[in-house]
Amino acid sequence: MKKEWVGWLFSVGLLCALLCGCQAAEESEKTAVEDDFYASVNFETFQEKTIPETEGSWSWSYEITEEVADKLQEAVSLLNTSGENFESGSSEQKINDLYACALDLDNRNEQGLLAVEPLLQEINDIETLEDCSNALIDLADNGFQSIIRFSYAQDDMDSSQMAVYFESIDDLIGKEYLDDPAMSEACQDYQEYMTQMFILSGENETDARANTTAIFSMVSQVAVKGLTPAEFYDPDIYYNVYTYNELTSLYSGINIAKFLERRGLSESDQYVVMEKDAISTLNSYFTEENIPVLKEYIKFVLLKDLAPYGSVEYRDLALEMERKLNGASQQKTNERLAYDEVGNLLEWDLAKIYIENSFDEARKNDVKSMIEQIISEYKEIINSQDWMSEETKAKAILKLDKMTVFV
């Protein structure tokens, strides 16, 4: 769901803060606290730190993460060069194979997007809305979402049950760009990125540019009705419960019933439509006349999602667009990109390697002691409150006692 925007907003905040701080860094004398509190308390940091060329922002969290990543990347590289045959199914075997695969650029270029050619062909063959529905179903079977976006999660209003949450379409560059006239240059860059992606997939330039314009127009119209990042945290706005019949009526232009059936979702499920106005606008595009733009949109989202795993041309095209948006000036090395893929896809296996190499029993016990101290402090704080009844205090402490700590 759109809660990932919190991470985006945090990153933007850090970037803006550091950029603002750069002005303070140029000053030879520390700013007085009463004149600029932020610049004053961070003066030394601004003097010492710079944003890495491969990144769009810097933070202390980033620095700690990079320290861990350097250790892990070295460990992964050692696995790769050891020449050892690791036990099938082991973390070492999975990490080594994925890292080697990601680094084998010749093979990536040779394979291209061959593995998903049947899906691309199905998209190209779309001629009717029923064809469109079937393609979306098959794509969802393979983990891809574009026009119909949903998640199955704990009900925000009743933790004892699950709910199916529906958002609007993948809005590509993002509503915060599409709605802001000041972001027009970024939107133009993104449209050029789309065009080049289509050309790379085999389309001629004239068709690629026409398809880009049509798609961007549709996405912009839908995004206008979508929620802002903040609104995704306001249940009065996003928590809209729909019945099965109401949901099928909202998606009346497409076979949502067949889509739900394939996903194992039935009329008895709880449906929450988060972006009802945007989906209603999207539904108006489900006409036979709009088949060309719908199929090209579905195709682009698939290409975009697969670009990091395709040939180097696809990968670098996507990375270039990413750098334009985050302000980075340099691409990461192939080795670091390969390591990042291991981290994204095998995070638990990588964590196991990290624990074995860098987290001994003494450190584990230190963390356990720290947690025990925090829980003990919470109990003292609760017991010292004069606005809580004894019964409420007992229940609060019971929650602490029932916690299971995993380190």
Q: By percentage, how much of the chain surpasses pLDDT 90? A: 86
Q: What's the confidence (pLDDT) of residue 359?
A: 83
Whether the Cβ atoms of residue 137 and residue 259 lie closer than 8 Å to each other? yes
pLDDT tops 80 at residue 388: yes
Q: What's the confidence (pLDDT) of residue 27?
A: 54
Q: What whole-number distance in Å separates Cα of residue 235 and Cα of residue 230? A: 11
Of 164 and 10, the one with more pLDDT: 164
Chain segment 223-255, per-residue pLDDT in tens: 999 999 999 999 999 999 999 999 999 999 999
Query: What is the band of 138 on the pLDDT scale with cuts at 50, 70, 90?
Result: very high
User: Residues 204-222: what's their mean pLDDT?
Assistant: 97
Q: What whole-number distance in Å separates Cα of residue 301 and Cα of residue 387? A: 54
- pTM value is 0.83
Q: What whole-number distance in Å separates Cα of residue 241 and Cα of residue 213? A: 35
User: Residues 111-123: what's their mean pLDDT?
Assistant: 95
pLDDT tops 90 at residue 215: yes
How far is Cα of residue 67 from the mean position of the Cα atoms in its chain?
23
Residues 6+ apart with CB under 8 A from 160: none
| Beta-sheet strands, E only, within 130-203 | 149-155, 158-167
pLDDT tops 90 at residue 394: yes
User: Residues 213-228: what's their mean pLDDT?
Assistant: 96
What is the average pLDDT score of the chain?
A: 91
What torsion, rounded to 10 degrees, do the Cα atoms 291, 297, 303, 308 define?
A: -160
**∠ at Cα 27 (21, 29), nearest 5°?**
115
Structure tokens at 222: 């839908």
Query: What is the band of 21 on the pLDDT scale with cuts at 50, 70, 90?
Result: very low
Of 19 and 349, the one with more pLDDT: 349
The DSSP code sequence of 324-391 is: HHH---SPPPHHHHHHHHHHHH-HHHHHHHHHHHH--HHHHHHHHHHHHHHHHHHHHHHHT-SSS-HH
> Could you tell me the maximum CA-CA distance found in the chain, to the nearest angstrom?
74
Q: What's the confidence (pLDDT) of residue 8?
A: 41
User: Residues 172-186: what's their mean pLDDT?
Assistant: 95
Whether the Cβ atoms of residue 177 and residue 161 lie closer than 8 Å to each other? no
DSSP 182: G
- 114-309 placed in CATH 1.10.1380.10: yes
Q: What's the confidence (pLDDT) of residue 23?
A: 45
The DSSP code sequence of 221-234 is: HHHHTSPPTGGGG-
Q: What whole-number distance in Å separates Cα of residue 147 and Cα of residue 100? A: 34
pLDDT tops 50 at residue 297: yes
Q: What whole-number distance in Å separates Cα of residue 107 and Cα of residue 203? A: 24
Whether the Cβ atoms of residue 57 and residue 51 lie closer than 8 Å to each other? yes
